[in-house]
Structure 1
Amino acid sequence: MGKNQGLKSIMAIVLGLLAGALLMMVMGFNPVEGYKYLFQGGLKNPERIGNTIATATPLMLTGLSVAFAFKTGLFNIGTPGQMLFGGFCSIAVGLTLDLPKLILVPVVVLAGVLGGAIWATVPGALKAKFNVNEVVSSIMMNWIAYWIVYYGVPKYFKGEFLETESRMLSDNATLKAEWLSNLFKGSYINLGIFLAIIAVIIIWFILNKTVLGYELKAGGYNRFGAEYAGMPVNRNIVFSMMIAGALAGLAGAIQYTGNSNIMQIGVMPSQGFDGIAVALLGANNPIGVVFSSLFFGILYVGKGFMNAAVKVPPELADTIMATIIYFAATSMVMDKIIRRFKKKKDDKSGKTTDSSERVVEK
C-alpha cells in the first residue's frame, strides 16, 4: 500500500472512531471506557487474540477477492454467494468422504476453492461474451447459491436434531488443530489463517511480478487499449473472476470447516459483503487488506465484550465500521475527482500523454 493510501486509511479510521466517540457521548456512555473494552475484547489475552485472527481470516479472503477484482476493473459483489457455495462444496465433501485427515483436509479445501471459482465463472463469462454487468449477474448468483444450500442441506446432509443445519463434520474433515488452539489458550483459531496468508502472498505476486498480473490490470485500466496491444481481454475477464471466486470459496471452506463445523440454511454469509469494506479500507492492496481485516476482526470480537462490560449496544460498533467505510469511500471519490480535474486542466493547457506511455497503476 502506498504511503498516501495508508495515511488516508488511517485517517478514515481516526475519523470513524471520533464519530463513534461523539455518538457514545450523545447516548450517555463514556467513550474512553467504551473503546477500552472494545479493544480489550479483541486483544485482552491470547484467547481473544486468537478469536480475532480466526474472525478476520474469512474477511481477509473476501476482501482480497473484492480487491483483486477491483484491480482488474471488475466489481465482484458475488463474494457472499461464492463463499456460500464454496463452503457448501467443502461441507458436502467432508461429510461424504471417509479419508485420513492428511488427505481429507486438502480435498475439502480444494472443493471450496473450486466451488467458488466455478460460481464466479458465470458472471465472468457473461461479462466477457455479452458485456452483462457483473454486479447484476453476481447478485443473481448469490441468491441461486442461497437456494441451492437451502434445498441441499436438509435434503442430503440434514443434522441429527435440526433440519436447518447440516450434520457436524468429523475432526478429520476440519481445519481445526489442537496445538494451534492450545497455543492461543482455547481459541477457535485454525489452520485457515496460514492458507489466507499464502493466498495474500500469491495474489500480491501475481499482480505485481507477473505478465498475467500486468495484463489483468491493463484490461481493467483500459480495455480497448489492452485489446489494441493484443492482450486476450475477454479470457482475462473470465480468469480474473475465477481467481476472485476461488478466494471467496476458500473463505467459505475456512468459515464452515475451520471456524465452525456445520452449515446453517437461510443465512447469507455477511463476510462476503463485509469484504467490500475490507478491500476499500485496505486500498485494494493485498497487504492493506491484511491489516484492514484484522482491524475489522477486533471490532467484531470486541463489540460483544464492550456490550457486556459497559452496556454499549453492539450496533454502535457496526455504526463505527460504517462511518469508517464512509470516510474511506469519500477519500477515494475525492481522489478520482481531483485526478479528473487535473487531467482536464492538462488537456486544456495542451499537455497530452501518448497511450503507449501510460503505466498501469499498481
Structure 2
Amino acid sequence: MKAITRYMNLLIPVIAVLLGLLIGAIVMLAAGYDPVAGYGALWNGIFADPFNIGETIRLMTPYILTGLAVAFAFKTGLFNIGVEGQVLVGWLASVWVGIAFDLPKIIHLPLAILAAALAGALWGFIPGLLKARFRVHEVIVTIMMNYIALYMTNAIIQSVLTKGSDTTEDIKASASLKSETFEGLTNFSTMHYGIFISLIAAFIMWFLLERTAKGYELRAVGFNQDAAHYAGMSVNKSIILSMVISGAFAGAAGAMEGLGTFQFASVKSGFTGIGFDGIAVALLGGNAAIGIILSAFLFAGLKIGALNMPFEANVPNELVEIVIALIIFFVASSYFIRWLLLRFKKGEK
C-alpha cells in the first residue's frame, strides 16, 4: 500500500504538468498560435543560452525557500499564506544590515542572512502565537500581515533608511551574494551564491522533519492535535515553532532578493508575488524537499522562458500564466487524477 501511495505521489505532479502543457497547447491553437513554435521558444528561453539558464536558477533560488516555508507549515498542519509578507520583512532586514555595518564578508554576509531569517521568523511568530493561544485562524492573520508588512517596509524605507527616497543605497560588497564566477559562466546573468543556501535549506527541512524527534513531534501535531496532546506533546509550542521556522525560510528568501538579485530595497506599490508563487511550488512539489527543488526549477523556467515566446514565436507570454494556472488546477484536482489512475490499474488486472 505504501508503495502504491508513493507511486501516486510521484505520478500525479507529472500528469498535472503534462495536462497543463497539453491544454495550454489547445488554448494556443484556439487563439491562432502555433503551440510547437510556442513551446520551442519556451524551451529555448530556458536552455538555449547560458544567460537564460543563469536567470532561471536565480529565480529558482527564492522559489525553493518560499516553497519550503509553505510546505513546512503545511506538514505541521498549518497553512502559511503570509509567506509574501515574511519575504518583504526579510528583504528589508537583510538590506538594512548590508548597509549599516562594515564587516569582513565572512561575518557580514551570514549576519545579513540571519537577520532576514529572524525577521521572517518574528513575522511568523505572531500568527503562530495567536493560533496557539487564542485559536485565531492562521490563514486570516497571515493574509492581513502581508499588507502590514508591505506598508510597514515602505514606511521604514522612506522614513528610516532614506530621507524621503523610494530606494535605499546599495548594500556593501561584503554583504553581497553576487558571484563573478557565475557571471562569467552565464554571460553576466544575475545568478548568485544564494542557490547553495536554498539547497542547504531544503536539506535542513528534510532532515528536521524526517530524522529528528522534534520533527516527528511537529508532524504528529499536524496529523492530529488531540492525539498528539494525549501523547504528552505540547501542541501550542509546536504550532508556534512551526510558524517560526516557516517564517525563517521565507525571510531567507527575502535575503536572496535583497543581497543577491537587487542589492537594495525599494518602496513597492504591490506584492512581489514570490511568496504567493511559493504556494504553487509547494503544492506541485508535494510538500517534499526534493519535489520543491524540481517544482521551483519548473516554475522559474516557465517564467523566464516565457519572455522569449513573443520574440521567437510571436506568442504572448501571458499564455504561460494560463499553463501555470492549469498545472496548479490539476495538482489541486489530484483526487480525480488518483481516481483515474486507480481505475486504470484495476482495468489492467
TM-score, with structure 2 as normaliser = 0.93
Consecutive unaligned residues in structure 2, runs of 5 or more: 342-349
Counting aligned pairs with the same residue, the percent is 43
Question: Among residues 288, 296, 300, which one is paired with 2:299 in the alignment?
Answer: 296
Partner of 1:190: 192
Question: Among residues 313, 316, 319, which one is paired with 1:316 in the alignment?
Answer: 319
Question: Among residues 242, 249, 256, which one is paired with 2:258 in the alignment?
Answer: 256
- Paired AA for residue 42 in structure 1: I
Compute the displacement of 1:2 (Å). 3.0
CA distance in 2, matches of 1:199, 1:20: 33
Does 2:15 align with 1:11? yes
Paired residues of 1:84 and 1:145 also in contact (CA < 8 A): yes
Partner of 2:347: none
SS at match of 2:333: helix
Compute the displacement of 1:269 (Å). 1.9
CA distance in 2, matches of 1:268, 1:102: 32
Residues 46, 94 of structure 1: alpha-carbon distance in 2 compared, 3 angstrom cutoff: same
- Paired AA for residue 93 in structure 1: V
Question: Among residues 80, 84, 89, which one is paired with 1:80 in the alignment?
Answer: 84
Partner of 1:351: none
- Paired AA for residue 291 in structure 1: L
Q: Note the alpha carbon deviations across 1:96-148, whole angstroms, 9 max, x for none.
A: 11122222111111110101001100000000001110001111111111111
SS at match of 1:28: coil
Consecutive unaligned residues in structure 1, runs of 5 or more: 339-362
Q: Name the count of aligned residue pairs.
A: 336
1:200-349 to 2 correspondence within 5 Å? 200-266=202-268, 267-332=270-335
Compute the displacement of 1:311 (Å). 2.2
- Paired AA for residue 208 in structure 1: E
Q: Note the alpha carbon deviations across 1:58-88, whole angstroms, 9 max, x for none.
A: 0111011101111100000000000100111
Compute the displacement of 1:184 (Å). 2.5
Paired residues of 2:8 and 2:338 also in contact (CA < 8 A): no
CA distance in 1, matches of 2:47, 2:329: 25
Residues 332, 151 of structure 1: alpha-carbon distance in 2 compared, 3 angstrom cutoff: farther
CA distance in 2, matches of 1:114, 1:218: 25
CA distance in 1, matches of 2:6, 2:191: 30
Residues 216, 252 of structure 1: alpha-carbon distance in 2 compared, 3 angstrom cutoff: same
Paired residues of 1:42 and 1:297 also in contact (CA < 8 A): no
| Cα RMSD after superposing both structures | 1.8
CA distance in 2, matches of 1:177, 1:103: 17
- Paired AA for residue 268 in structure 1: F
Does 2:38 align with 1:27? no
CA distance in 2, matches of 1:249, 1:330: 30
Partner of 1:128: 132
CA distance in 1, matches of 2:118, 2:222: 24
Partner of 1:99: 103
TM-score, with structure 1 as normaliser = 0.89
Answer with 37-46 or 17-26: which moved more: 37-46
CA distance in 2, matches of 1:334, 1:23: 21
Q: Note the alpha carbon deviations across 1:256-290, whole angstroms, 9 max, x for none.
A: 21011122212312010000000010011111000
SS at match of 1:73: coil
Q: Note the alpha carbon deviations across 1:230-256, whole angstroms, 9 max, x for none.
A: 011110100000000000000000012
> 4+ residue runs of structure 1 moved beyond 4 angstroms?
332-336
